[in-house]
Amino acid sequence: MEKNDALGFIETYGLVSVLEAADAMCKAADVELVGYENVASGLISVVVRGDVGAVKTAVEAGIKEASKVGAIYSSNVIARPHADVQKIIVKYVIDW
């Protein structure tokens, strides 16, 4: 990860709302969709990365749009995450 990268997370109930969140996040700012994880009991998380401002904008947009079609469980932005966090994030990476 770049030194100024940030990570943004949104966790929703259901696939439709997480897809809406991911779409809005990618359209709202210059962020990279890292991946997603189906956690449990209908909870699905989506992760993006980019510079801090872009990630904050993306998460805000994702929350707004996803909440129109489903429930948001949680969200978070981590500015300049520690390098060891990458060990967890690789689990989410989408292999296109």
pTM over 0.75: yes
The dihedral formed by the CA atoms of 21, 27, 32 and 34, expressed in degrees to the nearest 10: 20
Structurally, the chain folds into a number of domains equal to 1
Instruction: Give the 3-state secondary structure of residue 47.
Output: strand
Q: What is the pLDDT of residues 11-28, one digit of tens each?
A: 999 999 999 999 999 999
What span, in angstroms and rounded, lies between the C-alpha atoms of 16 and 10?
13
Residue ranges making up the domain that contains 15: 5-92
Which pLDDT tens digit goes with each residue over 49-94? 999 999 999 999 999 999 999 999 999 999 999 988 888 888 777 7
CATH number for the domain that contains residue 45 = 3.30.70.1710
